[in-house]
Amino acid sequence: MIFLVDYNLDGYTPVFLGILTKLGWLDLLSIRFITLKEAGLSMDTSDRILWRFAQSNKMIILTANRNMKGKDSLEQVIREENTTASLPVVTIGALDRLDEFNYREQCVDRMIEIVLDIENYKGVGRLFIP
């Protein structure tokens, strides 16, 4: 599974990978983190384009910052375009707590749970973690 990492979480990608490696999950699951830049998207890409890109490329958006303001807000896009086959958007509930080791591990645990049970998470729209 590929997580498309929003610009506000770029610096945490190596941390998440480190936790996954330490726990042995990367030996069992194919999990990758791709930044917007690596995907060829700019930091100011609209939420609608971001969501469509992620869905068409079978990626889960990982964010902590997308909001509900405007006709192209992520929440509005999900309401308009989400289907039962759509991959969820995973939103870290407390960005300021990612400095806490236990919170980061809880977030990674939830990501693993979502990947392992992805069929049951399709169509839910947004998931707040941990």
Interval 72-122: pLDDT, tens: 889 899 999 999 999 999 999 999 999 999 999 999 999 999 999 999 999
The answer to whether the pTM exceeds 0.85 is yes
Q: How far is CA 44 from CA 26, 30, 85, 122, 127, in A?
A: 31, 29, 27, 26, 22
**Please, which pLDDT band fits residue 67 given cuts at 50, 70 and 90?**
low
Distance CA 37, CA 52 (A): 16
Is 90:111 a contact under the CB 8 Å cutoff? Answer: yes
Rg (the chain; Cα; Å): 14
Q: Which two tokens stand for residue 118?
A: 């992805």
Predicted confidence at residue 65, as pLDDT, reads 74
Q: Specify the fold of 2-129.
A: Rossmann fold (3.40.50)
